[in-house]
Structures are given as C-alpha cells and as structure tokens.
Structure 1
Amino acid sequence: MSLPSLKEALKAIPSPLSDPLLEEFEQALDEYRAADWEKVGLKAGKFCEIAYCVCAGYVSGAYSSSPFKPANFPQACRDLEQHNGTKGRSLCMQVPKVLAALYELRNNRAIGHVSAEVSPNHMDAEFFLRGMKWIMGEFVRNYSQLPLDDSHAVVEAVTARNFHMVWASGDVRRVLEPARSAGEKVMILLYAEGTPITIAQLQTWVEYKNRTDFKRKVIEALHKKAWVQYDEKAGNVRILPPGQAHVEKSGLLTTGK
C-alpha cells in the first residue's frame, strides 16, 4: 500500500487554503534542498500567513475564501488563544505561538535586508523548515480523516530529515556523491525519505542497471544485516532502527567521506 499524500491528509481544510499552503511548504523544501536559505525565509513568511488563516477558520468555523495577511500578525495570533478552552490548545495557542515566532524572525532578521553582520540565513532557514514541518504535522493530527496508522505515517514523512547530500526534484532523488557505493546510496536515501520505497524507485535513484543484481547484491545484503526491511511481496524497502543508527554513526551523511 502506498503512503497517503499530505494533500489527502489535509483535505478537510478547504482547498483555497490547503492548496497554497502545500505549495508554499513544498517550495520551501525545494529551496532548502537547493541551499537557497534566503528563499526559504521568503516562503516561510507566506506559509505563516496561510497557516494563520487555517487556524482562524478552525476557531471560527468559517474559513476565508482566500489567504490574507492580518494587519497585526502577532496580535492576531494572540487573539486566537482565548478560544483554547473550547477548541483545544494545538491550533488556538501552540501553533499560533510558533507562527508568531517564525513571522517575527522572517521580518526582522537578515533575510531581505543588507547587513554588515555575519549572515544568519542558514541557521534561520533550519528553524523555518523545522517550524513549518512541525505546523504541518499538527495540521495532519487535527484534520486528517485517514486511518490512524496512515495519519501517523504522513506525520512521519512530513517531519523526515532533509540533507544537502540528497538532491530532490519532484519524484526524482539523487545522492550528490557519485563515489558512494550502491548500498550506501540506498541507506542514505531510505534514511532521508523516512518511508517505504519501492525497489523500482530505489534502483532508478541509485542508477543501478540490473534489477536482479540490485535486489540480490544490494537490497538482500542490507536486509540480512537488519539495516532494512525488504518486503518482497509488496516490492518495497524501509530502513530499520539498526540501519538508522548505522547511517548516523558511520559518517554517511558527511560529505567527502
């Protein structure tokens, strides 16, 4: 069974808000993968405005027909707190507080401004991305009508790690160190994705020519080490905890190793 999409999990949010929310989120991920830190911040600002509209619609029960920017963003976020007693803390208090923090950093740091100081854009981009992922995870928790296991899988996929070593464009992934072995590339890709990947997809990403040899020499060898779980019937592979530990401790995520 394939992993449900983020769009499926958030379909309870009206499309005039969910579609641009997903677009800004995905573009922020693309800019992060491209190491364009300033653009990550620019996307984060628009993302926050749309996410606020989602929270405001949740509180009022009436969603806006299009995203809008509150005149006073911090105050608008604080105004949602008064509803936490009836609507719960997540979308009334916790998410708005994170939105306010992201928005403050977006508008009052180096992004979009000229400064003689050391640029904080990279570390800010890390914060923006993690904050956006956390907010999307909260939206899935509050809005998803999928079965519990599927909702959990979507949250795990949303919060999966991103690496400069893995280039992504649409459904294409590539490890940006050609000298890595096929097995190392598989482990890096599985760790970065955080979800089961089909054999066919992995073979394409690793650029391994022979399917039979790929399964036998690479996937089955990793399966025997208990680094991955190879589901032959489903035709997919997922990383296991010992495999995650191996990736983190072996230096596979460090360039030039």
Structure 2
Amino acid sequence: MTATPQVIFSGIPEGLRRPLLDEYNKLAKHYREGHWEPAELNGGKLCEIVYSILRGHVDSAFANAPYKPDNMVVACRKLEEATGFPRSVRIQVPRMLLALYEIRNNRNVGHIGADVDPSHMDASLVLAMVRWMMAELVRIFHGTTTEEATQMVESLTERSLPILWHVGDVTRVLAPLSAKDKTLAVLYSAPGPLDVKSLLASVEYGNASRYRSSILKDAHREHLLHFDAKADTAQISPVGSRYVEERVALETSGYIQFQGERSTPRPR
C-alpha cells in the first residue's frame, strides 16, 4: 500500500495519531521479542488512546493528547448513547476495549496478585484484538473496506528482528536458521518485494536455481510468500508474517544475547 499513516489516519489529530502508532509498534516489537508483559501493557495503553479517539470523534472535539477516563467501563458504555454513529464506534470497538482492559488489569499484567502470569497466549490475543481495532479505525477514518484496512494495518508495522544486521545493501541473518526461515526473516523486515538477487546475498544460498525452484516456490505453495518468477521478486504474505512472529522470532529471541554472553571474556 502506498498510503502513509498520515493519510490513513488523516481524520485523527497528530496529538492522538502519533501515540496510537507508537504504542502499536511497541506492542508488535515486544511481541516479536517474546516480551509478553510489556506487550500486554502496551495493549492497555492503547485502550486509553483508542477511547480518546472515539470520544473525540463522537463529540466532534478531540483532546490534545490521550487521557484515561475515571472509569473505563462506564466511559465505554456511555459511547453506546451516540446513536447517530455506526455500531462499530458505539458498541463493537468499545466492548473490545473493555476486554483488553480486563486483561491488562486482571491477568497479572498491571498489578500484582492477579489470577495468571503474562503468557504467549494472552499476548497473542492482545495483539490480534489490537490489530482488529486498528483496522476498524482505518475503516472508519479512511473510508475503505475491511480487507483494504487489514492490509493497511500490516503496512503500518515497523518491522525489525534482533537477528537481522543491515550491512550496506545486504541484510545478514545472525542466527543458524534454515534457508526458508532466513528468507522469511529478511522479507519480514522489508517494506515491499525484494529481488531474488538481494535475497540470495542475505541468505547466502549458493545455488540460485535451486533456491528459486525449491525454497521460494515451496514457500509460495505454503502461502508464506508470493514469488513472482517473471519479475524475480518475493514478498512476504500475512501468513508468512505470522509464521515469523510466532516461530522464527520466538525461537531466536535470546540468541543474540546468548552469543554475546559466550563471547564476553571471563574476568581473571
């Protein structure tokens, strides 16, 4: 997608738009790195930002910055009174906010003594709910379809992985992954399609013909990426992005730190 965040969320003032995007990218980054509690805390902060946006939209008067209502449950229920607005603004997004806020407050995230510890399962739920809300905000403020809104949300994410090292025009993968996983990791960090020549340099695969016929075509059949043989480019798919976040990023989350600990000389 070519639309920038400023265009996508042009109906939201900068004082709310910037915190929304920043907190969303912090959440995505913490999730990629396996930091469940910070990811869930980001979800709680996003609740307050999204509520501030909805309240300003309904009142036709946006706040200069995000704020926390005195009682989130009561505040979200009051949005249901705005009968002149779509159901998404009045009911669906506010009720999603309440569910997210419940996780933040009562799943041992924001306070000591809750029922359960932060987990991958909870963080995955938080990320999925936040992505849905972001897509709804795109749909509301940019006037597009659900499918297009979902694609736009994917384009908003600033993607990086600790195992990637950018050296000039080459992105090296600093972890012992398979050629497929290295390819997906590199594509994950790219804003669009990459030419196969660049991928070969990054993945350090010796046989270009086999790389195209085996690695890329197999991943294409698995819907992990789109391989355009005519243009000789590859681009990661939403399925591939989830694969990287839920498998590659988690499996390598401590690799760089571990290698650093191994290479640090012990004091004599």
| TM-score normalised per structure 2 | 0.69
Give the Cα separation in 2 of the matches to 1:123 and 1:218. Answer: 35
Shift in alpha-carbon separation, 1:151–1:37, aligned structure 2, 3 A: closer
The one-letter amino acid of 2:69's match is P
Give the Cα separation in 1 of the matches to 2:101 and 2:172. Answer: 32
Give the Cα separation in 1 of the matches to 2:19 and 2:237. Answer: 34
Q: Flag structure 2 segments of 5+ consecutive residues without an equivalent.
A: 253-268
Q: What do the CA deviations read for 1:12-69 (whole angstroms, capped 9, x no partner)?
A: 2111100011111111111111211111122112111010011111111111111111
Give the Cα separation in 2 of the matches to 1:175 and 1:252. Answer: 12
| TM-score normalised per structure 1 | 0.72
157, 161, 167: which one pairs with 1:167? 161
110, 129, 147: which one pairs with 1:131? 129
Counting only pairs closer than 5 Å after superposition, residues 8-47 of structure 1 correspond to structure 2 as 8-47=7-46
Could you tell me which residue of structure 2 aligns to residue 94 of structure 1? 92
Q: Do the aligned residues in 1 keep the contact of 2:32 with 2:250 (CA within 8 Å)?
A: no
Give the Cα separation in 1 of the matches to 2:109 and 2:250. Answer: 27
Shift in alpha-carbon separation, 1:76–1:117, aligned structure 2, 3 A: closer
198, 202, 211: which one pairs with 1:207? 202
98, 109, 112: which one pairs with 2:110? 112
Q: Flag structure 1 segments of 5+ consecutive residues without an equivalent.
A: none
Could you tell me which residue of structure 2 aligns to residue 218 of structure 1? 211
Task: State whether structure 2 residue 190 is matched by structure 1 residue 197.
Answer: no
Give the Cα separation in 1 of the matches to 2:175 and 2:164. Answer: 20
Shift in alpha-carbon separation, 1:197–1:95, aligned structure 2, 3 A: same
Q: Do the aligned residues in 2 keep the contact of 1:14 with 1:63 (CA within 8 Å)?
A: yes
Shift in alpha-carbon separation, 1:96–1:13, aligned structure 2, 3 A: same
Greater mean deviation of Cα atoms: 97-106 or 123-132: 123-132
Shift in alpha-carbon separation, 1:30–1:202, aligned structure 2, 3 A: farther
Greater mean deviation of Cα atoms: 16-25 or 141-150: 141-150
CA deviation after TM superposition for structure 1 residue 131, in Å: 1.3
Task: State whether structure 2 residue 173 is matched by structure 1 residue 178.
Answer: no
Give the Cα separation in 1 of the matches to 2:214 and 2:84. Answer: 54
Q: What do the CA deviations read for 1:73-116 (whole angstroms, capped 9, x no partner)?
A: 11100100111x32101121100100111112211221133449
Q: Do the aligned residues in 1 keep the contact of 2:37 with 2:119 (CA within 8 Å)?
A: yes
CA deviation after TM superposition for structure 1 residue 194, in Å: 11
Identity of counterpart residues, as a percentage? Answer: 30
Secondary structure, aligned partner of 2:70: coil
Q: Do the aligned residues in 1 keep the contact of 2:73 with 2:98 (CA within 8 Å)?
A: yes
Task: State whether structure 2 residue 235 is matched by structure 1 residue 238.
Answer: yes
Give the Cα separation in 1 of the matches to 2:26 and 2:13. Answer: 20
Give the Cα separation in 2 of the matches to 1:20 and 1:99. Answer: 17
Q: What do the CA deviations read for 1:167-204 (whole angstroms, capped 9, x no partner)?
A: 269997876752312x44324665x6798422279628
Could you tell me which residue of structure 2 aligns to residue 55 of structure 1? 54
Shift in alpha-carbon separation, 1:208–1:193, aligned structure 2, 3 A: closer
Give the Cα separation in 1 of the matches to 2:35 and 2:237. Answer: 32
Give the Cα separation in 2 of the matches to 1:79 and 1:28. Answer: 28
Superposed CA RMSD in Å reads: 4.2
CA deviation after TM superposition for structure 1 residue 157, in Å: 4.5
The one-letter amino acid of 2:47's match is C
The one-letter amino acid of 2:182's match is K
Give the Cα separation in 1 of the matches to 2:33 and 2:42. Answer: 14
